[in-house]
Structure 1
Amino acid sequence: MTNFILRRLGQSIILLLIMSVLVFAGMYVISDPVAVMAGEDATEADRQALARSFGLDQPLPIQYLTFLGKIVQGDFGTSFVYGRPVLALIFERLPATLEVVFLAILVGLAVGIPLGIYSGLNRKKAPTKVISFGTTVGYSIPNFWQALLFILVFAVWLRVLPASGRGPTTEIFGVGWSVFNAEGLRYVILPAANLAVALICMQTRLARSGTQEVMYQDYMMFARAKGIARSRLIGRHLLRNILIPIVTITGLELGTLIAFSTVTETVFSWPGIGKLLLDSIYRSDRPVVVAYMILATLMFVLINLVADIIYAILDPRIRYS
């Protein structure tokens, strides 16, 4: 296991370097940050002075090596637009994204797994057909359209939930959280529900297919023949054996939602890191975009590594040499 972890970390460093080169060069090709920051009324002298102040007058390889050297020292640079350290901007927005994503993940697991197990155990019953139809529809609706429907129904027609923004927060360990504030929680519900719908549909399908496969394994048929209680059979034998694919997909979805929940955050004007990324791309704020992508890649690598370790805990037959 130790060799596996070290090898995976070595691969991660190479992956991070490749990602940083691609994003850095891509932002250079897409737009000119000097033109965006200077505006239309700036003179050529103003543009040159602005470029010198940010080091943008240097050749692109020199700019990249300078940026890379600062990253090694823990300095991801300063935002062209906000004039603040990039890490401070990202970590300032991160709690807003984390509370929406984790709430969506919890709802997805809490609703999707029981529905999937029920569907797998009762394949021919009418509720199973309803669940199957609902997961197909829920997974097919575009995320942005679903968000607009939520706003229309719950904010415009029923007027029970706010349509946008982040409500009041309660500070815990120096960080403000909306989920721990009664009024702030109302603002979290719609963005979290918008993310949770696809997760519920996915977890339901995974749990259903896993249940149908596991229930006909020899050890499960033997356990049923021994007269083991149905609740124990499901909780101890079935659930543990269907969790491996669920852990895999949940890990990938967790990373994806944290890094790229841009549509939901934009529609609901949620001040998370996804909206920060979209605004930074629009404004050609290269330090923010590059640092964001590097951190997102690192997060994906770490989540996958944790998922691999959980595999070995859930199934002792899995070993890494």
Structure 2
Amino acid sequence: MSVYLLRRLIQAALVMLAMSVIVFIGVYAIGDPVEILISPDADQMERARAIAALGLDKPLWQQYLSFLGNALRGDLGRSFVFNEPALKLIGQRAPATLELAFAAMFLAILVGLPLGLYAGLRPDGVGAKAIMAGSILGFSLPTFWVGLMLIMVFAVQLGWLPSTGRGETVEILGLRWSFLTMDGLAHMAMPALNLALFKISLVIRLTRAGVRETMLMDFVKFARAKGLSPRRVIGVHVFKNILIPVVTVTGLELGSTIAFSVVTESVFAWPGMGKLIIDSINVLDRPVIVAYLMSIVLMFIIINLVVDLLYSVLDPRVRLESK
């Protein structure tokens, strides 16, 4: 296990290094934040001082080496707009995005697994066909349109839920969390559901396909021949085997949910990282953009590592140790 972890950590470091080059060049080679941040009425002396203060007067390779050296010390630069460390801004917005993403994935598993299991066990039933038709809608409907419809129905017409914002929060370890208050949960309900619809459809189809494939396996037929109850056959032999692909895809989808929650956060005015990155792109706040992208890469690496470790728990045939 230690050899495997060491190898994965080395791979993660190389991936982070490669991504830092790609992200830095991609972000810093496009556009000129000076044209946005500095008044058009400023003279050449003021522009020169501002460019030097932002560190944009150096060649690109020198800017990257300076960025890399600071990044090794945990400093990804200061925001051009807020004049605060970029990582501090990301850290302030990260709890909002993380709790929204985890809530969406929790809903996807809570709803998708039972529905997919039912659709796989009774594929010709009316209920199973209705579930699969609903999953197609979950894939097809645009996220922004669903969000607007949720606001129109549950906030405007029925008045059951608040339409925007994060609601009341509680501070834990210096971070603000809204899922610990009833008002926060009420504000989270619609954006979490909006973000979860696509994931629910994905889990349903994955679970159904896994059940249909596993039910034809010899070990399931042997378990039935031994006289085991249908509940035990499904709960022990079928369910445990379909969890492996579900865990794999769910883990990767968690990363994508965190990274691509921009639309949902914009529709519901949810103050997370997605809204921050949109605002930063509009003003070409390069340090914040780079810090956000590097944070997302690190999250994907950590999630992939956790998913790989879960393999050994779900399937003892998977060997993590090096030969």
TM-score by length of 2: 0.96
CA distance in 1, matches of 2:109, 2:8: 28
Task: Show the counterpart of 1:117.
Answer: 117
Deviation larger for 272-281 or 126-135: 272-281
In structure 2, what is the equivalent of residue 72 of structure 1?
Answer: 72
User: Comparing 187-196 with 158-167, which one deviates more in the overlay?
Assistant: 158-167
Shift of 1:34: 1.6
Partners of 2:133 and 2:281 in 1: CA distance: 38
1:92 and 2:80 are equivalent in the alignment: no
Shift of 1:84: 0.6
Residue matched to 1:273: 273
Q: Which residue of 1 aligns with 2:192?
A: 192
Contact 2:120 2:208 in 1 (8 A): yes
Q: Which residue of 2 aligns with 1:287?
A: 287
Give TM-score scaled by structure 1 length: 0.96
Opposite residue 10 of structure 2, the aligned amino acid is G
Q: How does 1:1-321 map to 2 (within 5 A)?
A: 1-320=1-320, 321=322
1:29 deviates by 2.8
CA–CA distance in 1 between the matches of 2:225 and 2:173? Answer: 53
Q: CA deviation at 1:28?
A: 2.4
2:231 alignment partner, SS class = helix
How far the C-alpha of 1:152 sits from its partner, in A, is 1.5
Distance 1:238 1:197 in 2: 25
* Structure 1 residues without counterparts, runs of 5 or longer: none
Q: Which amino acid aligns with 2:7?
A: R
**d(CA) in 1 for partners of 2:206, 2:120:** 10
> What's the CA shift for 1:276?
1.0
Distance 1:10 1:300 in 2: 15
- The 8 Å contact of residues 164 and 269 in structure 2, kept in 1 or not, is answered as yes
Worse overlay, 156-165 or 92-101: 156-165
**Residues 35 and 47 of structure 1 are in contact (CA less than 8 Å); yes or no, is this contact kept in structure 2?**
no
For 1:153 and 1:193, the matched residues in 2 are separated by 14
2 CA distance for matches of 1:205 and 1:90? 34
- What is the rounded CA distance, in whole Å, between the counterparts of 2:218 and 2:260 in structure 1? 42
Q: Secondary structure at the match of 1:30?
A: coil
CA distance in 2: counterparts of 1:75 and 1:172, whole angstroms: 24
User: 1:19, 1:260 → 2: CA distance?
Assistant: 18
Structure 2 portions without partners, runs of 5+? none
1-structure distance, mates of 2:230, 2:41: 74
- The answer to which of 103-112 and 1-10 deviates more is 1-10
Amino acid at match of 1:52: A
Deviates more, 1:71-80 or 1:164-173: 164-173
- Report the more deviating stretch, 56-65 or 157-166: 157-166
| TM-fit CA distance, 1:100 | 0.9
* SS of alignment partner, residue 318 of structure 2: coil
